[in-house]
Structure 1
Amino acid sequence: MTPFDSEADLQALADRFLDHSLPADLWRHDAHCLVTAWLLLRRPEIDLKAELPDLIRAYNVATGGQNTDSSGYHHTITLFYLDAISAFMAGPDTTDAAAACRAMLASDIGDKDYPLRFYSRDRLFSREARLGWCEPDLQVRAVHA
């Protein structure tokens, strides 16, 4: 991933996701989280709960991926992280978006295995969880369905 030391870096990352010019090999966990945080903070006109799933699906297809029962877009993980990032970004001073994003990645959210604290591996990586919302089966977390 390229550095995200400034608002301009974060905006460029989000813009490259939105226009599908971000190389697929850079669309990793940290990029997902940073783009989601940036869009929450600086693009409030985008209703991420309604639009993020289709934005990710479109990006995947545009960069040569597929959205199937076993690969590509994952609905439960997307909504889980959208909720976690939304809650995190509601806490700190987000005037400096880059600093807020660094703090977010340094939190539990930065751990790509974070959902496994709430979901068994079988449930999280099930076909049902990929295609639709599944409630956590290990511990409760307030997640938007």
Structure 2
Amino acid sequence: MTSHSIRFFTDDAAIAHLGEGLIACALRREDWTHEAHLAACLYLLARHPDIDLDREIAELISRFNESVGGVNDDHNGYHDTITRAYVAGVRWFLGTRATGDLTGDVNALLASEVGIRDWPLRFHSREALFCVAARRGFVPPDLAPYPVAPLR
């Protein structure tokens, strides 16, 4: 496991800014941190039921990356399998632990096992996760299935 200090959020507005900024490609590149990825994902899942995140996440992040001069290729930019692992994790977190308090939920997510930077390695071997095929498209977990929240 890697160790990084967590940058927590102080209010809903900062989280909404990330989610809406991702949609509008209106964020600065340096604002797109690990915590921002997870906060935007939770925000979109919780507050934008009109967005089919499973279908649209690749385009949202790829378009944002390009808007700030990034490249989405075999070695850089959008990584489909890592992103989808975190979407599954955030969805599981929302279904099992969320309270409805946006800032509280995002901060709890960041402090949880899902917020850990190498959380996808619980489900994917390093070889499977970091291959070109996993970056360009979804590669199913080869170690364990993603957790699934019970239906409410």
Is the pair's TM-score, using the shorter chain for normalization, greater than 0.5? yes
Aligned to 1:55: 60
Contact 1:119 1:138 in 2 (8 A): yes
Normalising by structure 2, what TM-score? 0.86
Shift of 1:142: 4.7
Structure 1 gap segments, 5+ residues each: none
Q: Is the 8 A contact 2:7 2:35 kept in 1?
A: no
Say whether the 8 Å CA contact 1:41–1:94 is kept in structure 2. Answer: no
Once residues 118 and 73 of structure 1 are traced to their aligned partners in structure 2, the CA distance between those partners, rounded to angstroms, is: 19
Structure 2 runs not aligned, ≥5 long = 1-5
Q: Aligned letter for 2:9? A: F
Alignment of 1:104-115 (within 5 A): 104-115=109-120
Match of 2:77 in 1: 72
Deviation at 1:29, TM superposition (A): 1.3
Equivalent residue number for residue 135 of structure 1 = 140
TM-score (norm 1): 0.90
Post-superposition Cα deviations, 1:82-133, rounded to whole Å, max 9, x if no partner, equal 0110010112343211101111111011111111122221210101101111
How far apart are 1:138 and its partner, in Å? Answer: 2.4
- Between Structure 1 and Structure 2, how many residues are aligned? 143
Secondary structure of the corresponding residue to residue 90 of structure 1: helix
Q: Name the residue aligned to 1:29.
A: 34
Match among 82, 94, 97 for residue 89 of structure 1: 94
- Which aligned segments of 4 or more residues in structure 1 are displaced greater than 4 angstroms? none
Shift of 1:17: 2.0
In the aligned structure 2, how far is the partner of 1:121 from the partner of 1:93? 30
Q: Match of 1:129, as an amino acid?
A: A
User: Is the 8 Å Cα contact of residues 3 and 9 (structure 1) preserved in structure 2?
Assistant: no
Indicate the residue corresponding to 1:117 in structure 2: 122
RMSD of aligned alpha carbons: 1.8
Q: Is the 8 A contact 1:74 1:131 kept in 2?
A: yes
